[in-house]
Amino acid sequence: MRPLLIVASTALALTVPAAAFADHHGGGHAAHKEQEAIAAAVAAPTRTPANIARDQYRHPAETLAFFGVKPGDTVVELWPGGGWYTEVLAPLAKAGRGTLYAAAPWERGLNRIKEWQGANADLYGGIKLAEFPNAGTNPKVPDASADVVLTFRNVHNWRFGGADNTANAFKQIFAMLKPGGTLGVVEHRLNESDDAAKEEKSGYMKESSIIAFAEAAGFKLAGRSEINANPQDTKDYEKGVWTLPPALREGETDRAKYVAIGESDRMTLKFVKPAS
């Protein structure tokens, strides 16, 4: 496990072992139970072996704990794609009687989730489907309904559609969260010294850019973590972040080199919607 680097006192408790939470009000017990629930979801037998093999790069248990995800929460996963995190979030929501939304472009961005709902209704049938960004005609995540919104390696895709598109996405996320709710962002990290034009094609984003989009929408930065950092990622590839696993767009060319680097260097940012 990589050490956490926290910039806000509200997130500091996540760096402390569960036993240190113990107090006369039972807070330590609650935190321990939440950690156990996340660990059980990560260990769910329904997860595919190929996805489990990537835990070493994505650190799902540590990441979800950093974002403060609890089993009974209403959680929104934006643009779930192939469902890597959905395999963890679905059993977590089911065990805790929480609510899980999958929100993506309607309907193509939800096809994998719909396939899973048909194949395993017991686990995935309860996932609610919503359009994101929402254009006003299809189901959306209701305003002020979510405890946590999560997006994993998606902000660069919104950025490809332009700065206005990205700003709109953050505004819609802000609207769907309850006051005091959390936005968790994991994204491929561009060096702050690099040309910002790389954000439009490389798949990498600067931390400062994402923080600026979030703050413009009304969010406050609550913490940042190095859980998903990878200092071996040089970020200078002709074919962008997709040069690295799992895409490996160079095929067999320098394959061993890129496999040895592993998946991209990633920022892990926690934002909150002010309570008032």
Cβ neighbour number for residue 103 with a 10 Å cutoff = 28
30 Ramachandran zone, left/alpha/beta (phi>0; psi -120 to 50): alpha
Share of the chain above pLDDT 70, in %: 90
Question: In the numeric block, which tokens belong to residue 141?
Answer: 């995540």
- Output the average pLDDT for the chain: 91
Q: Tens of pLDDT along 102-138?
A: 999 999 999 999 999 999 999 999 999 999 999 999 9
Cβ neighbour number for residue 187 with a 10 Å cutoff = 25
Nearest to 192 by CA among 203, 204, 181, 208: 208
Question: What is the average pLDDT across 230-255?
Answer: 97
Contact between 231 and 181 (Cβ < 8 Å): no
Q: What is the pTM of this model?
A: 0.89
Residue 114 one-letter amino acid? K
Structural domains of the chain, with CATH: 9-272 (3.40.50.150)
pLDDT value at position 32? 84
Q: Tens of pLDDT along 51-98?
A: 999 999 999 999 999 999 999 999 999 999 999 999 999 999 999 999
Contact between 88 and 48 (Cβ < 8 Å): no
Q: Tens of pLDDT along 159-218?
A: 999 999 999 999 999 999 999 999 999 999 999 999 999 999 999 999 999 999 999 999
Q: Which long-range contacts (CB under 8 A, 24 or more apart) does 157-166 make?
A: 157/79, 159/199, 159/200, 159/205, 159/209, 160/200, 160/201, 165/133, 166/213
Give the model's confidence band at 27: pLDDT under 50 very low, under 70 low, under 90 confident, else very high.
Answer: low
DSSP-assigned beta bridge partners for residue 268: 186, 225
Question: In the numeric block, which tokens belong to residue 107?
Answer: 């309907």
Contact between 79 and 102 (Cβ < 8 Å): no
- 22 pLDDT above the threshold of 70: no
